[in-house]
Amino acid sequence: MQIYDTEINSRLLVGTAQYPSPAVLVDAINSCRCEIVTVSLRRENADGSGTGFWDTLRQTGTRILPNTAGCHSVQEAVTTAQMARELFRTNWIKLEVIGHADNLQPDVFGLVEAARILCAQGFQVFPYTTDDLVVGEKLLEAGCEVLMPWGAPIGSGQGLRNPDALRGMRAHFPNVPLIVDAGIGRPSDACQAMELGMDAVLLNTAIAKAGDPAAMAQAMAQAVDAGRAGYLADPMERRNMAIPSTPILGMAELA
Amino acid sequence: MKITVNAQDHEVASTTLAAVLLELEITKPAIATALNSVFVPREERPATTLSEGDRIEILAPMQGG
């Protein structure tokens, strides 16, 4: 899978928040062999814990995708992205412009505006968006080369609320990398996203809040691989009625 | 001069962003700065002069999803 100018082998992207400890986070990353992890920026603490986290994460050898989580305005998101670029030394930015405090739904108007500004400044923008096709088109026009539609609200673990819309995105944007971001709760959700033809999934809480995060990370990776293989194998069409799989021809008369 | 750093009020003697960071003993390299909501690159901190009431944000890497 190619995202911007980078070839990626793992189709599972993992967030780094909410783990019981840094050691558990590292175990989970190693367990699922993900190549990309998301990080954030927050106010520097007096104890320098941010630096410690950064040192731990760098040892994993993963590629960093900084986010603008929590930003509710274009100005906030753009400034945060610029700070992230300097801090993490990457042009990648997972762009979030949150529009609603309750469901953390993207403000798609602000998102497109921020994406346009950041793409013009040389960022490679990963926009956290809805499954709206028109918004997707606007983001591509702004310069984005990947789209990250939500599956369900962030951290909800509800799975894919609208699989038909994601299927529609796949059909409408056949050559654009699509990454389901947010809402995955279980391996079956990740598998379903991949069966629909998504190129990857990004999840955090489903692993971090599992009873055994490392085991769940591995299960998610397997689910992503299975779903991708299933998509490529071209699943059969659903039928409304039963059709016997065992041949009728040659049936004995035993009644 | 009264300024705000990460939402905390401070009375500082320094007049540039770089000097304020030193005065407040914020010396870790893994930080990024913004002045009044505008990003200030590391190399511009020494020449960035401050005014009364300025708002500085100092951010560091943090866990995120």
pLDDT digits (tens, 9 = 90+) for B10-54: 999 999 999 999 999 998 889 999 999 999 999 999 999 999 999
Minimum distance, in Å, between the CA of residue A80 and any CA atom of chain B: 8
Look at A42 and B60 and tell me if their CB atoms are within 8 Å: yes
Predicted confidence at residue A46, as pLDDT, reads: 56
Which residue in B has a C-alpha nearest to residue A95's C-alpha?
B65
In this model, does residue A50 exceed pLDDT 70? no
Residue B32 forms contact with A (CB below 8 Å)? yes
Taking a C-beta distance cutoff of 8 angstroms, is the pair A124, A91 a contact? yes
Which residue in A has a C-alpha nearest to residue B56's C-alpha?
A43
Look at B65 and A51 and tell me if their CB atoms are within 8 Å: no
A45 labelled ligand-binding = no
Minimum distance, in Å, between the CA of residue A164 and any CA atom of chain B: 25
How many angstroms separate the CA atoms of B55 and B52, rounded?
9
A51-102 tens-digit pLDDT: 788 888 988 999 999 999 999 999 999 999 999 999 999 999 999 999 998 8
Which residue in this structure is represented by tokens 């529609």?
A168
Domains and CATH numbers, chain A: 12-233 (3.20.20.70)
Structure tokens at A129: 């968006």
What single-letter DSSP state applies at residue B16? Answer: B
Predicted confidence at residue B18, as pLDDT, reads: 97
pTM of the model: 0.93
Minimum distance, in Å, between the CA of residue B34 and any CA atom of chain A: 8
Look at B37 and A15 and tell me if their CB atoms are within 8 Å: no
Taking a C-beta distance cutoff of 8 angstroms, is the pair A11, B59 a contact? no
Look at A39 and B62 and tell me if their CB atoms are within 8 Å: yes
Residue B25 forms contact with A (CB below 8 Å)? no
Choosing from A94, A116, A138, A228, the catalytic residue is: A94
Predicted-assembly ipTM surpassing the 0.90 threshold: yes
Which residue in this structure is represented by tokens 């955090």?
A204
Question: How much is the average pLDDT of B57-61?
Answer: 95
Residue B1 forms contact with A (CB below 8 Å)? no
Structure tokens at A40: 């954030």
Structure tokens at A42: 């927050």
Written as one letter, the residue type at B48 is T
Cβ-based neighbours of A15, under 8 Å, separated by 6 or more: A37, A38, A202, A203, A204, A205, A208, B63, B64, B65
Predicted confidence at residue A47, as pLDDT, reads: 60
Which residue in A has a C-alpha nearest to residue B38's C-alpha?
A79
In this model, does residue A45 exceed pLDDT 80? no
* Helix ranges, chain A (H): 22-32, 49-58, 74-88, 108-120, 133-142, 163-172, 187-195, 205-208, 213-232
Q: What percent of chain A has pLDDT over 70?
A: 98
Which run of H or E residues covers position A235?
A: none
Taking a C-beta distance cutoff of 8 angstroms, is the pair A127, A140 a contact? no
Q: What does the H/E/C string look like for A165-232?
A: HHHHHHHHCCCCCEEEECCCCCHHHHHHHHHCCCCEEEECHHHHCCCCHHHHHHHHHHHHHHHHHHHH
In this model, does residue A49 exceed pLDDT 80? no
* Helical axes A22-32 vs A49-58, angle rounded to 10°: 20
- Based on the residue annotation, tell me whether A209 is a catalytic residue of this protein: no
Predicted confidence at residue A102, as pLDDT, reads: 86
Predicted confidence at residue A41, as pLDDT, reads: 94
3-state secondary structure of A118: helix
Taking a C-beta distance cutoff of 8 angstroms, is the pair A117, A125 a contact? no
In this model, does residue A16 exceed pLDDT 90? yes
